[in-house]
Chains A and B, each alone.
Chain A
């Protein structure tokens, strides 16, 4: 390796001569910047200015540019600073950097309160667009379903079954495990608090109503939004990024029909099944804890369960499931198709898909609660 870079002033009457030496290369860039900044202070009106580069042992773009920068700042009025002793090896490199125009400034946007408020305003105004987007997608999916009903041959059974395997069959273990644990926790907490006033057995009522009517389906829907909604968004988003969706369209296929309909249908079939399995697992877990921890034996548990809950609770839970699945699916597909060219955009939309999916699931649950209460179910 050649030595560190140097820049010496050689006395030359009223003129200025600088001699550069050593290795003017990228590894020394920081030091070179300092050297050049010091030398720039020598600028002033002089009859002639030279930069002698004959002693430079190694030069690359960094060094060549810094010499050029120095040359430009020393150039003063009519007196142009000249580079002397340039070897032919490096001549073309120096010519190359001589053509560089001064860099355009970086566009920096300072973080201001005004800017932050503007961002908030834009997000709020964007809520309207979100709804329009969702309704647009709902319409497109319904129209595509209509077309498929008229021409059942266009229905993509293989694709639907494939997605059903992904979102339903493969989700069973984790959903069953989590709902089982939730059932255990509800039961344990119920017994612990109800025991204070000798109402242990009422834990069965609480468990039955909560699991079958509210928490069971809600939890499963949230898990599906996180597991499958995000997957849909990421799949569609990366297909969009790589122009696969455009390719599909140019071949005369409707992306809604080919990509989105099978996914939506798979989700709508899967969620009630998963909600049912989840509810059973939660009841099983709750019953187990009630027996082992609360001393409610299985026979008494089942007897009490039969009295406490009606088929209505179960129906209410299952009616909600497909609607929630549709909401999750539509949100995921809208976000997937909104992905722009960058990896960052894919991440943002996948996050948005899960967050919005869960939000709408909870809103739907509230709407259903009011609805069922008012029809007395």
Chain B
């Protein structure tokens, strides 16, 4: 393929994913550019999470090609794959914190596994990451079962950011947060993107997030990307689902 997309950090070509006889993704193409925040929307059950999980490699695909950081994930040997995995961070929808480890251990886990650094630095980095996601160091020795839903999201983000990745996948990061918390979270993602030069792939249903945090929006429907572009492009689109989504009652409320 032409190297025209050299600034694309994720390049997905012609992916097909099938569960039994249901085809979830059907020849889907998608590019995520370096340094952008891509908001990914679509009706419930359209396969947004499936696409995320396919890119990460948790769901097998029937056909297609996925390149992350210019590495073809199917052709890559285990060492190359590990190198890629070290450069991305993932925030799962339910947080997926390790339930038998404390917050401190959860955040330190990837760092401890990949880098040989002192316990002191591990602790300091853990506090710094907690600070970045807006948590106080006092929560460090709590277990995930002792945290609120919003705190779990934040700790999970801190863990996703533990190794200072270049790319983060956020699966519905603001669902289950109060509007102020969600607003803070959007702000946080923006700040992190600016300071750390992150690329963010965000699956979301939060219109506020789309307006305030995202640079570009991609819409999934019928197993394909039906539209991709800026907020203005989305609002100008004549696609029925898009019109409903971006001109519905809630959308008007957000736009004021």
Shortest beta-carbon distance, B149 to chain A, in Å?
12
Set B100, B137, B196: member contacting A103, Cβ < 8 A: B137
Set A69, A100, A342: member contacting B131, Cβ < 8 A: A100
Contacts A61-B129, A65-B124 given; indicate if A92 touches B194 (C-beta within 8 A): yes
Contacts of B123 in A (CB 8 A): 103-106
> What's the tally of chain B residues with a CB closer than 8 Å to chain A?
38
- Of B117, B118, B124, chain A has the most CB atoms within 10 Å of the CB of B124
Q: Kindly state whether residue A30 has any CB partner on chain B within 8 Å.
A: yes
Complex CA gap A25/B163 in Å reads: 9
Which residue of chain B lies nearest to A103 when distances are taken between CB atoms in the complex? Answer: B123
* B128 touching A344, Cβ below 8 Å: no
Complex CA gap A265/B100 in Å reads: 34
* B143 touching A26, Cβ below 8 Å: no
Set B99, B127, B195: member contacting A93, Cβ < 8 A: B195
Residues facing B in A228-248 (CB within 8 A) are: 241
Set B104, B137, B195: member contacting A101, Cβ < 8 A: B137
Q: Kindly state whether residue B74 has any CB partner on chain A within 8 Å.
A: no
Which residue of chain B lies nearest to A58 when distances are taken between CB atoms in the complex? Answer: B197
Set A60, A65, A241, A342: member contacting B143, Cβ < 8 A: A342
* B137 touching A61, Cβ below 8 Å: no
Produce 1/0 per residue, B16-52, CB < 8 A to A: 0000000000000000000000000000000000000
* B115 touching A27, Cβ below 8 Å: yes
Tell me whether chain A's interface is mostly helix, strand or loop, or mixed: helix
* A342 touching B145, Cβ below 8 Å: yes
Contacts of B104 in A (CB 8 A): 106
* A99 touching B131, Cβ below 8 Å: yes
- Of A66, A93, A103, A340, chain B has the most CB atoms within 10 Å of the CB of A103
* A30 touching B117, Cβ below 8 Å: yes
Chain A contact patch, size range: 20 to 34
Shortest beta-carbon distance, B67 to chain A, in Å?
19
Produce 1/0 per residue, A23-40, CB < 8 A to B: 001110110010000000
Contacts A107-B141, A341-B143 given; indicate if A100 touches B127 (C-beta within 8 A): yes
- What 9 pairs across the A-B complex have the smallest Cβ distances? A341-B145, A344-B100, A103-B123, A60-B164, A342-B99, A93-B195, A342-B100, A103-B127, A92-B195
* A65 touching B128, Cβ below 8 Å: yes
Contacts of A340 in B (CB 8 A): 145
Residues facing A in B120-156 (CB within 8 A) are: 120-121, 123-129, 131-132, 137-138, 140-141, 143-146
Which residue of chain A lies nearest to B128 when distances are taken between CB atoms in the complex? Answer: A100
Shortest beta-carbon distance, A14 to chain B, in Å?
31
Contacts of B126 in A (CB 8 A): 103
Complex CA gap A102/B137 in Å reads: 9
Shortest beta-carbon distance, A16 to chain B, in Å?
23
Residues facing B in A289-338 (CB within 8 A) are: none
A-B contact pairs, 17 of them (CB 8 A): A26-B111, A29-B115, A30-B116, A30-B117, A61-B129, A65-B125, A66-B121, A92-B194, A93-B196, A96-B128, A96-B195, A101-B127, A103-B123, A103-B124, A104-B141, A342-B143, A344-B99
Contacts of A241 in B (CB 8 A): 99
Contacts of A107 in B (CB 8 A): 141
Q: Kindly state whether residue A343 has any CB partner on chain B within 8 Å.
A: yes
Set B143, B144, B194, B196: member contacting A61, Cβ < 8 A: B196
* B128 touching A29, Cβ below 8 Å: no
* A29 touching B132, Cβ below 8 Å: no
Contacts of A33 in B (CB 8 A): 117-118, 121
* A104 touching B115, Cβ below 8 Å: no
Complex CA gap A66/B121 in Å reads: 8
